[in-house]
Amino acid sequence: MARTIRLMGVVPLGDLAAYVEFSRTLDLQVNALVQRLAVAVQARGAPFIRDVVPALGGLALHFDPAFDGNCVEVASALIELCLEEGVSASEDVLRTVQVPVCYEPEFAPDMEEVAQKTKLSAAEVQELHSAAEYRVLMMGFAPGHAYMGGLNAKLAVPRRASPRAVVAAGSIAIANEQAVVYPYAISGGWNVIGRTPLAVFDPERQEPSLFASGDRVRFRAIDKAEFLKLLGKR
């Protein structure tokens, strides 16, 4: 049920950005409000604001260096204005991104460990992972990197004790109650249980990022043959 979500505060992130904080813990209702608020702030098109970044428990407003004033005061006023006008769920853009995933062992280096820790079989892990609907709670860490909520609680395992130096691009990984897709081959500590052949981030594409904050995401299991076929189409 809808409840009142209170603004905790607006703090400077340097003198050219402000962080508008609503929660210090993960709260899905807060996260949904943050995303709507980011859309509302963006829509106002304030000329001195260059970036609006929704995160898990609040949003950041980044200012143009030519901006003359106090970023916290201006951000506070802008947020208050948007909150007064009201941000409604009806304006949510409902988009579902379908992500094909190959869960076969060569793409899933941590599958066995996850299966052990959760006392499930690899097939059950795959089943539970691809059955759920996810929601992108935050974009960050790297271009196109999405933090998704909605992982089945039975699959909640901690991050790896020692992060891998390189995780392959397109790796699907889980930790705690979230899922991520690695856009590039980068280091990472999440448990890799599959890989998608899709380009997660492509600067040449009309929409560079496969995911955006607020997106719904569904994973679909594919075999290696289809993985290679889709990879070839990129």
Partner 1 sequence: MSVKVLRPGLLTTVQDHGRYGLQHIGLCPGGAMDPFSLALANALVGNPPDEAALEITVIGPELQFEEDSLVAVCGAEFQGGFPHNRPVLAPAGSRYNVGRAVRGARAYLAVAGGFAIDPVLGSRSTYLPGGFGGFKGRSLRHGDVLPLKGNEVKRFKSLKRTRDGTVPWSAPPRTLPDREPIVVHVMEGQHFEAFAAATQRAFFDTVWRVAPDSNRMGFRLGGAPLERAGGDEILSGPTCLGTVQVPPNGIPIALMADHQTTGGYPKIAEIASADVARLAQLAPGGKVHFARCTLEMAAELRRHMRGELEATLRGIAWEYGT
11 binds partner 1 (CB under 8 A): yes
Sign of CA dihedral 125, 219, 224, 207: negative
Residue count, binding to partner 1 (CB under 8 A) = 53
Whichever of 60 and 231 has its CB closer to partner 1, that residue is 60
48 binds partner 1 (CB under 8 A): no
140 binds partner 1 (CB under 8 A): yes
Whichever of 55 and 111 has its CB closer to partner 1, that residue is 55
Q: Which of 45, 47, 203, 232 binds partner 1 (CB under 8 A)?
A: 203
Sign of CA dihedral 25, 26, 28, 30: positive
47 binds partner 1 (CB under 8 A): no
Whichever of 58 and 194 has its CB closer to partner 1, that residue is 58
Give me the phi and psi of 231, to 5 degrees please.
-65, -40
Stretch that binds partner 1, among 94-102, 115-123, 205-213, 217-225 (CB under 8 A): 205-213
Give me the phi and psi of 219, to 5 degrees please.
-100, 140
184 binds partner 1 (CB under 8 A): yes
- CA distance between the termini of the chain: 43
Q: Least separation, in Å, of the C-beta of 143 and partner 1?
A: 4
Q: Rounded distance, CA 102 to CA 113, Å? A: 17
161 binds partner 1 (CB under 8 A): no
Please name which of 56, 69, 70, 66 lies closest in space to residue 20, comparing C-alpha atoms: 56
Q: Which residues lie below 8 Å from residue 142, measured CB to CB, with a gap of 6+? A: 182, 183, 184, 186, 201
Q: Which of 32, 36, 37, 57 binds partner 1 (CB under 8 A)?
A: 57
Question: What letters, b where the CB count within 10 A reaches 16 and e where it falls short, cover 73-105?
Answer: ebbbebbeebeeeebeeeeeeeeebebbbbbbe
What count of residues does the chain have?
234
Q: Least separation, in Å, of the C-beta of 44 and partner 1?
A: 14
Q: Rounded distance, CA 52 to CA 59, Å? A: 7
Q: Which of 37, 38, 157, 167 binds partner 1 (CB under 8 A)?
A: 38
Whichever of 56 and 108 has its CB closer to partner 1, that residue is 56
65 binds partner 1 (CB under 8 A): yes
Which residue ranges make up the site for partner 1 (CB under 8 A)? 11-17, 19, 21, 23-26, 38, 50-60, 62, 65-66, 68-72, 138-145, 147, 183-184, 186, 201, 203-204, 208-209, 211-213
